Amino acid sequence: MPLTNVQARDLDAVIHPYTPLHKIREIGPLVLDHGKGVYVYDTQGKEYIEGMSGLWCAGLGFGNEELVEAATEQLRRLPYYHLFGGKGMEPAIELAEKLKEIAPCEIDKVLYSSSGSEANDTQIKLIWYYNNAMGRPEKKKIISRVKAYHGVTVMTASLTGLPNNHRDFDLPVANVRHTDCPQYYRFSQPGESEEEFVQRLAGNLRTLIETEGPETIAAMIAEPIMGAGGVVIPPESYFPTIQPILDEHDILLIDDEVICGFGRTGNWFGATTMGMKPATVSVAKQMTAAYAPLSAVMLPKFMVEALEAQSAKIGVFGHGFTYGGHPLGCAIGVKTIEIYQRMDIVGRVRSLAPQFEKRMMALADHPLVGNVRCKGLVGGIELVADKATKRSFEAAQGVGAKVARLGEGHGLILRAIGDTLAVCPPMIISEAELDELFDRTIKALDDGEAVVSREGLRTAT
């Protein structure tokens, strides 16, 4: 089909992240115009169920008038200010208080930034700063995991355990190490039970720490559920098994809640759902229901005391962002958490989770699907060329992307992460809308199976 005027303008002016830039002109961008509830509409007026909450973030859907009103009121009152030099604003104070109330661990203070990448980057700077304050300048290495996603700054892209985030960006940088991905379906050995799998990964982690030298390792960073790595849900015993190893070697656990936070997994935070005992926490995305960019690092008292001690030594705490704690984002964040609490978002996710899981699990019988996995209202549908052997399609075939585009034809937006389709609908979705989402997913899978069969994509090369 010929490009519309707005599509042509887009292609002449915009670079699209996480997009095959060499192909975008062939297929054309999907240009959205407006949204309401769980639906978004393109410039031609076509309706789509937003099955990914944008990018895991629009937990309250689109067109929430309370959030629009909170934003408008704050823009009229104080459209911008900063927190540098001891300045303060009521929205930043109130949001920090709310975060401390609901945090999954003991938190003393909050440091704001604008994105999840910035929050995780800040985490590493603060861990390094903390160890310098404690007289341990050699304790600087950070352990991440294969298939992890922690951002796209130089440091957080290094922590991210996905090859395409490293290739030709000259990454990862020094002081980053990656340990095993806890995905049982893809990485377990023949005949290995889940518990044996966890014990093997824990043993590998211990070996890595002892080989590198525990005195050189500062922290491990982990998502409770790995989102952009393909919705990887670790076995229940995974975090309880590795936590003692980290504690034994004085290695802090950084909890990246950018995707899992604020009810998505059936608890306020994914750490609670997955049995994590973190020292620090990063949040973003659903903190403002995606209505404004904002992120935060939540810190324990012992780290805050170290920051204060270093400030006394150096004369200033030399870190911060112009828009960290922006009053617009903070005001929206306050209202977002108020809405979550009023509507009992945790209870709502728990009530919808059985239906979500039932519809997800039913997809396992589809000839294109090798594995499905979910927790709360987030899940992954992994497409395979051979169900019996778990053989994947060739990456160059782009089967996941093809199915996602076919879904758009049926009025459905999902995200293809390689050949895994991520599903993460707004948490306000109704039971009927959830059924419609999966009905459209089945249509996309059926169309995908037809393409795979017609083009002979299952043939191994």
Query: What tokens appear for 14 in the block?
Result: 């915009």
Query: What tokens appear for 26 in the block?
Result: 């062939």
pTM for the whole structure: 0.95
Tell me how far apart the alpha carbons of residues 283 and 174 are, in angstroms, rounded to a whole number.
Answer: 25
Other CB atoms within 10 Å distance of the CB of residue 56: 23
Would you give per-residue pLDDT tens digits along the chain (461 residues)?
788 999 999 999 999 999 989 988 888 999 999 999 999 999 999 999 999 999 999 999 999 999 999 999 999 999 999 999 999 999 999 999 999 999 999 999 999 999 999 999 999 999 999 999 999 999 999 999 999 999 999 999 999 999 999 999 999 999 999 999 999 999 999 999 999 999 999 999 999 999 999 999 999 999 999 999 999 999 999 999 999 999 999 999 999 999 999 999 999 999 999 999 999 999 999 999 999 999 999 999 999 999 999 999 999 999 999 999 999 999 999 999 999 999 999 999 999 999 999 999 999 999 999 999 999 999 999 999 999 999 999 999 999 999 999 999 999 999 999 999 999 999 999 999 999 999 999 999 999 999 999 999 998 76
Tell me how far apart the alpha carbons of residues 286 and 293 are, in angstroms, rounded to a whole number.
Answer: 10
Domains belonging to the chain, first-starting first, are 31-63+344-455 (3.90.1150.10), 67-342 (3.40.640.10)
Q: Which helix (H) or strand (E) holds 33?
A: strand 32-36
Tell me how far apart the alpha carbons of residues 355 and 145 are, in angstroms, rounded to a whole number.
Answer: 31
Contact 404, 414 (CB under 8 A): yes
* Whole-Å CA distances, 182 to 147, 170, 195, 231: 9, 26, 11, 11
Tell me how far apart the alpha carbons of residues 207 and 226 are, in angstroms, rounded to a whole number.
Answer: 23
* Whole-Å CA distances, 306 to 251, 299, 309, 356: 16, 11, 5, 44
Distance of alpha carbon 50 from the chain centroid: 16
Contact 297, 122 (CB under 8 A): yes
Tell me how far apart the alpha carbons of residues 161 and 139 are, in angstroms, rounded to a whole number.
Answer: 21
